[in-house]
Structures are given as structure tokens and as C-alpha cells.
Amino acid sequence: MKATAEAPANIAFIKYWGNADANLRIPYHNTISMNISGATTTTTVEFTSSLSADEVFLGGNKIDGAGAERVSAVLSHIRKMSGSKQYARVTSSNSFPTGAGIASSASGFAALAVAAASAAGLSLTEKELSTVARLGSGSATRSVPDGFVEWVAGNSHETSAAHTLYAPEYWDIVDVITVVDASEKKVSSTLGHSLAQTSMLYKGRLASMNQKVEELKRAMTDKDFARFGEIVEEESFNMHAIMMTSQPSVLYWTPVTVRVLQALRVWREEGLLAYATLDAGANVHVLVQGADVAEVEKRLKSLEGVKKTILGRPTRGAHLVK
Ligand code: PMV
């Protein structure tokens, strides 16, 4: 009744922002991401008759409130599937320093889904595991399969699931995570998703997404990095335009964020292909080809206000560990 799993964070190339069904975390359109090696969560789940409620520990500290409730929601789903009534002790730790501003619910809920299913004695398919992870956090859906991943929006719990587009070895793309702000994000993505509809730009965004997904897939098939980078950077700005024009407005960027974004434009004019994508925070994920990592890292570290860089290489999805 005990199992341990490890899962990576992922960086979205096509973003998930806004829910068609907020309870089930079903998005309006497909999204695409890459699992990254630099930031993983390891989680152990033990179901035991000695507990009268679920217990959740993160980095040695007991968690309660909304975070623990989300964990319990995933555990309750597993209990329903297995017919068990036992509560669980969950112990989780991140490979990256907590509070580094890159903490990811994706790695956490993907590891939880895989560990909890195994601890409950269920043998679920990868697709089923991705749907269970989704109940904790939408982006966690994509941290279950390996490598480059597509989350198909679907229209029900069973159909909103992720699958691998390409294995990690397919393309040597590196996410140079550029930490400019190490604090907790000010507006949670849960709240952000619920505000998306209030932006007058959101209808236009949704109307463009299916075509954008197809164009990105074509750039990936062709391994056309410049085209890929242009689509990914536009997509991140598109999502941040929704955030900024929501009511109330959500602005995640700091002056250092903008400094990094401006620098990338100058470097591209010099022929160095580096493109930005940002999640719900100020830190910039700079996507480069493997051969350019050292040069880009050196340049990023020389920018005033950049605290550090963390490398995320394409990696496998959530898996059990002994
Ligand atoms: O999984 P959530 O609810 O934390 O949402 C993640 C949202 C973004 O990171 C901003 C985009 C994405 O697709 O990962």
C-alpha cells in the first residue's frame, strides 16, 4: 500500500489558460509542452488504516488548507477507483529549492497520481494516469507521458488526457530557466484561469488556438527552430495579453523580465536563436538549441537582476521509483 514516484515539471509551448470546466480542469483547446529535467518532484504515498484523514508533507512541512484539499481530491478519486476507504500519508520533495519561483504544481500532481495509483494497487494506463493528475492541476496532465507532449482538451474526465508527440531524444531543445524573481507568485493560476473570460481579447485567442497548435506541430515535425521559437514566443505574449487585460488585470512581469525579453531580440538580430516563454510568473524560460546553451547562459547571467539560470532538458514523464 506504499509507492514512490518521480515526475518532471514541464514548460508549455502552447499554453493552457482558462477552463471550459473548472471542476474537472478541462481546457478549451489542446496544449503542447516539453518535460524538463531540471525540476522534479519525488512523492511517496502510503494508504494506511491508522489514519483518520489524509496527511500531506512537502519538504518536511505539513501542508493544510487549499493545497492539501487538492491533494485529497486526487486521493479521493483513486479511492473511488480502487474501492478502498483508507486515508493516505503523502510525503513530497522538490529537486529545486522551494520558493525559487519555479515551483510547479505540474511535477507535484503528476508524481502524486502515479504514486497513489500504484499504492492503491491499481494498474492504470498512461492516459488514465494523466487524467488523474489533471484533477490536481491542469498542467500536471502533461507531466505524465514522456518528452514532448500534447494534452488533448477532450470534453469529459476520460477524454481530457495527454500523450507523447516525440520522445525526449527527438530534439535537442533546452529551457534555460532565467530566475529574475524568487518569490511566490502573487496571483495563483487557479484564480488566473477563472479571470481569463473577463478579457475582451479572450474570444480572439480561443478562435486562433487550433490553427496555432497545428502550426507548432508542423514546426516540430520539420525541426524548424526559428519558426518554432516565433510561434512559442507569440503564444506566451498572447496569454500574457489575456492576463494583463483581465478584470482585475494580472501583471506578472518585473522590469528584469522585460530586460531579458529585450535582450533576446537584440541577440536574435545578431543571429543567436533564443526565444522566450513565460508561465504565470516573472521568470523567463529561454528556449535554445543545445549548441547555444553555454553562450546564452553566459549572456543571461550578465544581465542586471538575473539571479540564476537552471537548465531544463527534454526528459521522460512521471514514473515509479523503487
Ligand atoms: O496547471 P495550472 O493550473 O497551474 O496552470 C498552468 C498555467 C500555465 O503554466 C500558465 C500554462 C501552462 O500551460 O502550463
Nearest atom, ligand 1, residue 15 CA: 13
Dihedral sign for Cα 94, 100, 103, 107, please: negative
The per-residue pLDDT for 96 is 79
Nearest atom, ligand 1, residue 14 CA: 13
Distance 15 CA to ligand 1 centre (A): 7
Tens digit of each residue's pLDDT (9 = 90 or more) over 70-128: 999 999 999 999 999 999 999 999 997 666 667 679 999 999 999 999 999 999 999 99
The one-letter code for the residue type at 142 is: R
Q: Which DSSP category does 141 fall into?
A: G
User: Any residues with Cβ below 6 Å from ligand 1, and which?
Assistant: 12, 15-17, 31, 105, 137-139, 189-190, 279-280
Closest among 129, 172, 174 to 293, alpha carbons compared: 174
Distance 266 CA to ligand 1 centre (A): 28
pTM of the entire predicted model: 0.97
Nearest atom, ligand 1, residue 239 CA: 10
The per-residue pLDDT for 185 is 77
Closest among 186, 181, 184, 182 to 251, alpha carbons compared: 186
Distance 63 CA to ligand 1 centre (A): 21
Which residues are within 8 A (CB) of 258 and not within 5 positions of it... i.e. 6 or more apart? none
Distance 289 CA to ligand 1 centre (A): 24
- Residues with pLDDT less than 50, the chain: none
Copy the grid coordinates of residue 227: 519558426
The one-letter code for the residue type at 152 is: V
